[in-house]
């Protein structure tokens, strides 16, 4: 199957190039970028020199891409707002579109407006576009041809919480979430705040209290809980390139054993979620470069809280790896194809 | 005034050597260490070569030190349990003892027993030993000659919370605290878990849910609140040498303006606490190497929580700098002497 | 083909487990370690949880391993001296032994004695054991069943220099080499000098002027040059986990174009050496996690020196990746199998 | 004495603010910046919040500054070319000007032209402006009122080499120098190549073979040697904020003992040069934040080379600390004033 990446100039784009170049079932046929059109991928992504041969960036023209007869699946690694400009014609042309932007993550256009400060660019497509965390969605999404990939923070939060909320093992209200992200979470942003000497040996909170991912987190957790789930979410920057460490405090309604039984049932056959024993703590270093989410929890009898730790690589399970996993499942490839 | 550091082989000890060597009002007369006795300080702490001249480690003999006529103030940079062995004879000999260990931090011996897995080594001295965060304690402590310095995490937590709890501006119950510490927080521990390649590019929680500092945090917050204050405290390791970033979620009982007014009143004249505008976030990089605590807060109207960020250098304001600040205040030196 | 790793407790061992677990042509049947026997690999190498299933460390008994009927190829990730204890019986039993230690790197037993402070442990096997940098050795080695893998620094030095010395394009005398290595080059050494806070934000030379790799470097360069090649080699530690950056100064005997023509001829069909244009500089970050060596050079007309930069990942091209590449070539697998 | 910093928006400027704010003999009266005029220094340099009070950036107008009656000493932390625009009027007005730029470092205007791609902006002032490494210059410079501060790399190179060249202990020809610098050496440059994720875990050479500092290095070494000294200098970037590690290979003409005797004589009374025993290696981590240069050497009998290691903090001894040291010596303050 021929695939293309649209808007591949950033870190998620580069990770997609890496994953698709090595994938046993697909061919990476085109890589587009408005700013890099005409340049060799090997020169722009020197870490991938041995993988990409003479592949060259092409211009990003939605209509032309839609008319391309051979390419079946398109990955959109574009900013929100821009992604829709491509999703629409590709979707109409019958292509499969796996969108890594925020454009189709939220079911509510008013939430989109308030979170992204602009009207939703393609509200008529929302119905057609399922939001897919592969381990959490039922199989109906596999027939869709426009798919919304989750955000990085939301992935690290939903994987531990959704099964527990569905099973009623934690209270849906009063959930407190702290996340620390490696700097690649900000993308390839060239700004004083992101130069090496400003971020090295540095940790800080940002965007409190209303980070854009809050609406996505709450929409999904509320669906799982069949109840309104308002969370306190605090994102931070940490001095490392990749990785998200998330710590969640939720009031427990059951025993720790029931929590673990729930997780083990949910993830028994899933290759990319590792449930670690209570008292063992996930480490971002152990998931960097993988599509895994490692998680564990303790119960604090003094507060009756469940304290959950989860870690992912923000560029893999939090973005490009999960997008490839979605493609694998949709097309009946092995779930782990190209991801080990 | 002549001073000595007892047990100076670790990172807090080294920071004390740095601060006392440059201090305008005191002389660093002796530096002791059982393991390093006889060696030159300049060789063991090469970063301080230009400061320490021919100073040499001496053996750590409590009785001899107590009999030393000239040295007036002793800083104990020893493990808990061991510190008391020195505190006792020095205190009895009329010396001033500023203890950086946990031995005199807790008012309750049973809490000590459960937190440190051993009986309290000197319960009869507890009464004499005030616990001093200089910005928070009233002045009575200045006559004491045995003083307990706070732990690093507790310092980053008390500075923002204690004034608010005293003023009744946040609820004492349900407080959730996440802290991320640089690796020097673990001391100069030689263990596989602390070698460079294990900690670089790595973040992880540890010691959940019952880190030793919980008892100290709760004892102090409860005193401030005149109510039982049970917190959820989650410490983590971050890939940097120094710095603690603490994020606190507490239910607000007042307006954000009142919170800021309270802080500004508490810290108006204090050189080492910087209250940053709401929406500005403290950065560990900005306090590393200083005795400052930077803090700020936002109010989330959706949850009615106050979300506080605070940062310190764990070895300075979280340990040795605060100890020197205590000495400065006790002896009437300028509060900032040797700390700028 | 069934394979085993002997002595897999360190970082090269872990990298071998990663590479062989994903290899399309082989099965990783056994992983041994004296200290870890009985433990699950997934617990000891949590970064590989998704790859190793229930694989468990077994004891390292040379005789038993040699008697194992099914395993054909053994990778030795052992300290020098110890490796020979396994190489001997495995070799005698007709197994293929790919040795990552220094035991069979040097042709001269007296050099071994002076470099490693002990008599050579198996001089009678030296004849049988070719030293193989796959891009530089002729094909005769492929029939050997005991193969010496090069050291990390020597790999980064030979790849640029050997073709030039063979072609007489640089003077064999007066070569000056500076290398900076990530901390994993020291292995999983638990010592004060290697804890995080000692190595973070730190660079320093070590082992000047007589690092153990000097003898290996000189022996190989001299062979290439048909002349005695005495080099000045200065290794350093750099604050990163992986990667070696090597800068070489050699007196040029030809034009820069001839240098590039020589390299392009030598590496035209080799997937793991990238010759970068003069004026472009290799970056360790671009080769970390790959089996590539990136290299380039400039000519300084003022000094008539050729200044070469080369970079590798010390654990991949400098150790485990190169070992797998050797296996691939010996068994006629694709050279890149398991290495992309 | 009142002082001012002109062009204080970068990292050297910030380091100067830090040092002068704490200096016991001077007052920091003005801090100028075209881009930051009107802003509070505490907001732009949050690490210095506790030091700078209400100090505010003012505009950078050369004529106005020259007319300022009270300020006696001006530090120029400006780009080359721009520095002269300020040096001229300030010098003419009888002020003391300590220039951290390259404008007055080279004696030769043609070298300036070829190194900096522009004509020298003020050749008539060159005569008046001594180039001062305080440990190496004789005392005549102290009467000058326009002083050129050395570059960072050249400082790390001259301190070990100049005494040896003067004494004829090493050959002036064939000297090979490799330096690795922390990223702050590039200044506060906002460019893709300097964002965190590009420099973290990365080492690479740059500007080979003709870095701008080569002309300064060679001019000074040649003066010391009374002979033409053409060096091979290779600068690199290393993944850390501060620090330069320099390794120098020179052909020895004497014994190692004579080298050490020469250094010990040169630096016996100098507080900021530490000569370490041969076989001990300087570490950038030990000098970061200090004005020290640590150095040592070994003799390799196989090559008859002297291999020297030296380390400095590029922003302190390599820039702002050395500038303050120069002021201290010129004005008869203690050499270490404000620098411990």
A vs C: CB pairs below 8 A: 49
**Would you state the pLDDT for residue B18?**
98
Q: Is D190 on the interface with A (CB under 8 A)?
A: yes
Instruction: Tell me if the bond preceding B209 is cis, omega within 30° of 0.
Output: yes
**CB of B287 within 8 A of CB of B318?**
no
Task: Look at residue A62 in the predicted model and tell me its pLDDT.
Answer: 87
Mean pLDDT to the nearest integer, D103-111: 95
Contacts of A22 in chain C (CB under 8 A): 340
> In whole angstroms, what separates CA C70 from the centre of its chain?
27
Please say if the pLDDT value at position D164 is more than 90. yes
CA distance A149 to A331: 16
* B27 contact D CB<8A: no
Of D182, D209, D282, the CB nearest to C204: D282
Residue B23, pLDDT > 90, answer: yes
**CA gap A130, A140 in Å, rounded:** 9
pLDDT (0 to 100) of residue B68: 81
Q: How far is A206 from chain C (nearest CA, A)?
A: 25
Q: Report chain B residues whose CB lies below 8 A from the CB of D283.
A: 46
Candidates C9, C197, C238, C315: best to mutate against B (most CBs of B within 10 A) is: C197
Please state the rounded mean pLDDT for residues C38-46.
Answer: 97
D204 in contact with B, Cβ within 8 Å: no
- Closest residue in C to B196 (Cα) is C196
Size (chain A), residues: 340
Smallest Cα–Cα separation from A248: which of A313, A305, A184? A305
Six-digit token pair at A24?
A: 């046993």
The predicted structure's pLDDT at residue C285 = 98
pLDDT (tens digit per residue) in B217-255: 999 999 999 999 999 999 999 999 999 999 999 999 999
C-alpha to C-alpha distance for D160 and D274, rounded to whole angstroms: 10
Nearest-angstrom CA–CA distance, A205 and B189? 29
Residues of B with Cβ-Cβ distance to A234 under 8 angstroms: 178, 247, 249, 307
Tell me what the mean pLDDT of segment A267-291 comes to: 97
Chain B residues closer than 8 Å to D286 by CB: 46-47, 49
- Of C250, C246, C249, C248, which Cα lies nearest the Cα of C179? C246
Residue B61 pLDDT > 90, yes or no? no
CA distance B276 to C37: 54
Q: CB D281 to CB C230 under 8 A?
A: no
Residues B246, B67: Cα–Cα separation, whole Å: 42
pLDDT of residue D46 exceeding 90, the answer is: yes
- Determine whether the interchain pair D240/A200 forms a contact, defined as Cβ–Cβ distance below 8 Å: yes
- In the numeric block, which tokens belong to residue D121? 């902006």
Distance from A68 to chain B by nearest Cα, in Å?
Answer: 42
Q: Is A51 touching C (CB cutoff 8 A)?
A: yes
Q: Does A279 lie at the interface with D, CB-CB under 8 angstroms?
A: no
How many angstroms away from the CA of A43 is the closest CA of chain D? 14
Please give the pLDDT value at position B233.
98
Clarify whether A152 is annotated catalytic. Answer: yes
Q: Which range (A325-339, D62-76, D230-244) has the least confidence?
A: D62-76
pLDDT given at position B60? 81
**Cβ-count burial A21-39 (b if 16+ within 10 Å, e if not):** bebeebebbbbbbeebeee
Q: What average pLDDT is seen over chain B?
A: 96
Supply the pLDDT for residue B221.
Answer: 98
Question: By the CB < 8 Å criterion, does D278 face chain B?
Answer: no
Give the separation between CA A6 and CA A66, rounded to whole angstroms. Answer: 12
C-beta atoms of D190 and A195 within 8 A: yes
Q: Residue C101 burial (CB < 10 Å; 0-12/13-18/19+)?
A: buried
Query: Tokens at residue A131, please?
Result: 């939001």
- What is the DSSP track for B309-329? EEEE-TTIIIIIHHHHHHHHH
Average pLDDT value for residue range A231-248: 98
Give D304→chain C minimum CA distance, Å. 10
Judging contacts by C-beta atoms under 8 Å, the chain B residues touching residue C197 are 11, 183-184, 188, 241
- Number of Cβ within a 10 Å radius of residue A138: 7
Q: Which residues pair with B305 in a beta bridge?
A: B251, B300
Q: What kind and span of H or E run contains A120?
A: none
Q: Is the pLDDT of residue B66 over 90?
A: no
At residue C331, the pLDDT reads 98
Q: What is the predicted pLDDT for the residue at C225? A: 98
Q: What is the pLDDT of residues A19-48, one digit of tens each?
A: 999 999 999 999 999 999 999 999 999 999
The reply to whether C304 touches chain B by the CB within 8 Å rule is: no
pLDDT of A68 strictly over 90? no
pLDDT for the residue numbered B283: 98
Instruction: Using an 8 Å CB-CB cutoff, list chain D residues near A239.
Output: 196
**What are the chain C neighbours of B196 within 8 Å (beta carbons)?**
183, 194-196, 198-200, 239, 241
What domains sit in chain B, N to C, each tagged with a CATH number?
2-129 (3.40.50.720), 153-314 (3.30.360.10)
Predicted pLDDT of residue A61: 87
User: Which of the residues A152, A229, A262, A293 is marked catalytic?
Assistant: A152
Flag whether residue D272 sits within 8 Å of chain B, measured between CB atoms.
yes
> For chain A, where are the E strands, in sequence order?
2-6, 27-32, 57-58, 71-76, 96-99, 146-148, 176-181, 204-205, 232-237, 244-251, 273-275, 293-300, 305-312
pLDDT in tens, C8-41: 999 999 999 999 999 999 999 999 999 999 999 9
**Which residue, among A183, A196, A285, A314, would best test binding to D if mutated, counting the most D CBs under 10 Å from its CB?**
A196
Across A161-174, average pLDDT: 98
| D222 has a chain C CB within 8 A of its CB | no
Q: What residues of A are in contact with residue C201 (Cβ under 8 Å)?
A: 201
Q: Which residues of C touch D282 (CB under 8 A)?
A: 204-205
Residue C68, pLDDT score: 81
* Cβ neighbours around D302 below 10 Å, total: 13
Other Cβ atoms within 10 Å of A308 Cβ, number: 28
Give yes or no for residue D62 having a pLDDT over 90.
Answer: no
Instruction: Measure the CA dihedral C75/C81/C86/C92, to 10°.
Output: 110
Check residue D61 and give its pLDDT. 87
Nearest to A265 by CA among A155, A177, A135, A144: A135
Query: Does pTM top 0.90 for this prediction?
Result: yes
Nearest-Cα distance to chain C for D324, in Å, is 25
Pairwise CB contact (< 8 Å): C283 & D202 = yes
Question: If you average pLDDT over residues B262-287, what whole number do you get?
Answer: 98
Tell me C323's DSSP state.
H
pLDDT score of D267 more than 90: yes
Query: Is pLDDT of C66 > 90?
Result: no
Tell me whether residues C238 and D241 touch, CB distance under 8 A. Answer: no
Question: Per the CB < 8 Å rule, is B47 touching D274?
Answer: no
Cβ partners under 8 Å of residue B119, min gap 6: B109, B112, B113
Residue C284 near residue D204 (C-beta atoms within 8 A): yes
> CB distance from C188 to chain A under 8 Å?
no
Q: Is B280 on the interface with A (CB under 8 A)?
A: no
Q: Which of D180, D195, D204 to mutate to test the interface with C (most CBs of C within 10 A)?
A: D204
Q: Please, what is the average pLDDT of chain C?
A: 96
In this complex, the residue of A174, A232, A238 whose CB is nearest that of residue B203 is: A238
Mean pLDDT over C213-241 rounds to 97
């Amino acid at each position: 199957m021929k695939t293309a990446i649209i808007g591949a100039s950033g870190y998620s784009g580069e990770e997609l190039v890496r994953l698709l170049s090595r994938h046993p079932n697909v061919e990476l046929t085109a890589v587009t970028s408005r700013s890099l059109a005409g340049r060799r991928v090997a020169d722009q992504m020197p870490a991938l020199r041995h993988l990409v041969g003479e592949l060259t960036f092409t211009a990003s023209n939605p209509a032309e891409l839609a008319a391309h007869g051979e390419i079946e699946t398109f990955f959109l690694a574009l900013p929100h707002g821009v992604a829709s400009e491509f999703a629409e014609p590709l979707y109409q042309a019958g292509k499969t579109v796996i969108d890594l932007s925020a454009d189709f993550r939220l079911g509510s256009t008013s939430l989109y407006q308030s979170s992204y400060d602009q009207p939703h660019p393609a509200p008529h497509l929302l119905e057609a576009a399922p939001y897919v965390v592969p381990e959490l969605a039922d199989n109906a999404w596999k027939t869709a041809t426009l798919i919304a990939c989750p955000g990085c923070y939301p992935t690290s939060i939903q994987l531990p919480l959704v099964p527990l909320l569905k099973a009623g093992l934690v209270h849906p209200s009063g959930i407190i979430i702290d996340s620390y992200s490696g700097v690649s979470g900000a993308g390839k942003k060239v700004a004083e705040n992101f130069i090496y000497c400003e971020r090295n040996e540095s940790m800080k909170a940002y965007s409190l209290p209303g980070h854009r991912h809050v609406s996505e987190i709450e929409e999904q957790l509320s669906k799982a809980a069949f109840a309104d789930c308002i969370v306190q979410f605090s994102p931070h920057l940490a001095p490392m390139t990749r990785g998200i460490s998330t710590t969640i405090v939720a009031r427990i309604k059951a025993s720790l054993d029931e929590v673990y039984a729930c997780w083990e049932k949910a993830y028994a056959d899933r290759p990319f979620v590792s449930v670690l024993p209570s008292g063992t703590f996930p480490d971002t270093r152990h998931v960097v470069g993988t599509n895994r989410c490692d998680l564990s929890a303790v119960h604090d009898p003094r507060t009756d809280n469940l304290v959950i730790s989860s870690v992912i690589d923000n560029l893999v399970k939090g973005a490009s790896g999960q997008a490839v996993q979605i493609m694998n499942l949709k097309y009946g490839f092995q779930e782990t194809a190209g991801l080990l």
